[in-house]
Structure 1
Amino acid sequence: MSDDDFSLFQAAVRGVKPLKQEQADTGKPRPDRRQIADRRQAATERTETIRVDGLSDQFVIDVGAEDELYWAREGVQEGQMRKLKAGQISFEGSLDLHGMSMEKARETLWDFLAEAVKFEVRCVRVTHGKAARLDGKRPMLKSHVNTWLRQHPQVLGFVSCQAKHGGTGALYVLLKRNMLEGRDE
């Protein structure tokens, strides 16, 4: 920068006061860092208690107390479902949801199915009951279990049990499994 350039610069900035701070005033209030930290902490704590299991209650399929339930995922062989309905595929685990709240039943069912899949179980029994209600309404738990099982990615199909295993108050549930060494379908 030459002397002429410096003189021109000084003439151009004459009367300008230097800033006393290095940050511009945007007119917005400064963020309360403590409040932000508290909000972040609260949000973190809340998400840890929310359980996301993929089982929705948005569209529950209403079923009657004595209705026989039957559902098979696309691609499941009809012969497998006939065997399941006839009780020819033995169940290796059983879960009784009687007396549970809807939320507790859903959580328990999700955990039970996860455990069964982990141990390569092919078939389980889920007892939901019939809950023939005095007010004439449909059985809530049976309807919800019917809906939840259709949404679970590891469920291939389900049918109401034989009378000796609970009849229309229970289901045989056929699960996907990965082949363990030495085990065949």
Structure 2
Amino acid sequence: MQDDDKDNSLFMSEMRGVKPIRHDRADTGKPKADRQQIAQRRQAATLKPTSTKVDGLSDQFVIDVGAEDELYWARDGVQEGQMRKLKAGQVAFEGSLDLHGMTVEKARETLWDFLAEAAKLEIRCVRVTHGKAARLDGKRPLIKSHVNTWLRQHPQVLGFTSCLPRHGGTGALYVLLKRTMLEGRDE
């Protein structure tokens, strides 16, 4: 027992001047988090209207088109006869969207929502009026160029062509859409 007494006295001598801890939390050196500020930041992040919507439409490379350029595009596998009918205005459009005066981002969002709604309603053809604004800076029409690019990327779009003059001419497009109920017939 002599060793125990020796160890005990050695321990007590080493512990002389040490004060017991009064709390059970470690001090990490970091300031305490301001919970109210964190809550405000989270709320601001969720309410931000400028948040980027991931919709699959890229602006990486926009095909510039002229104000009077006629647009025409068909996805691989779409029958030429179908596209001829579309170009001749023989496929009735069941919905119409006007993008005049919108910013590029607003036009993009509106077009995406419009095509999603048309697909949900199993609509075969729609008209999209993009305008052909001759810009003051001499550059190509912005919305027309973007719409031309976006429609080529949209999974529901089978093809599109500029409208007949009575439906907007080179300032609008007939857009042929894929219908899911008739799978196999549209492609």
User: When the two structures are superposed, what TM-score results if normalisation uses the length of structure 2?
Assistant: 0.78
Name the SS for the 2:174 alignment partner. Answer: strand
Deviation of 1:175 after TM superposition, in Å, equals 0.9
2:168 pairs with 1:172: no
Identify the residue that residue 53 of structure 2 maps to in structure 1: 52
Identify the residue that residue 91 of structure 2 maps to in structure 1: 89
* % identity of equivalent residues: 74
Q: Tell me: CA distance 1:80–1:27, structure 2 relative to 1, closer, same or farther (3 Å).
A: same
User: When the two structures are superposed, what TM-score results if normalisation uses the length of structure 1?
Assistant: 0.79
* Count of residue pairs the alignment pairs up: 179
Identify the residue that residue 142 of structure 1 maps to in structure 2: 144
Identify the residue that residue 112 of structure 1 maps to in structure 2: 114
Name the SS for the 2:175 alignment partner. Answer: strand
Q: Tell me: CA distance 1:132–1:31, structure 2 relative to 1, closer, same or farther (3 Å).
A: closer
CA distance in 2: counterparts of 1:22 and 1:32, whole angstroms: 21
Q: Tell me: CA distance 1:172–1:8, structure 2 relative to 1, closer, same or farther (3 Å).
A: farther
Letter in 2 for 1:26: T
Letter in 2 for 1:118: K
Q: Which runs of 5+ in 1 are unaligned?
A: none
Deviation per CA, 1:32-51: give whole Å up to 9, x if none.
222222222222222x6636
Deviation of 1:111 after TM superposition, in Å, equals 2.4
Residues 93 and 123, structure 1, Cα contact 8 Å, conserved in 2: yes
CA distance in 2: counterparts of 1:74 and 1:9, whole angstroms: 88
CA distance in 2: counterparts of 1:107 and 1:29, whole angstroms: 42
Q: Which runs of 5+ in 2 are unaligned?
A: none
Identify the residue that residue 42 of structure 1 maps to in structure 2: 44
Q: Tell me: CA distance 1:27–1:103, structure 2 relative to 1, closer, same or farther (3 Å).
A: closer
Residues 53 and 110, structure 1, Cα contact 8 Å, conserved in 2: no
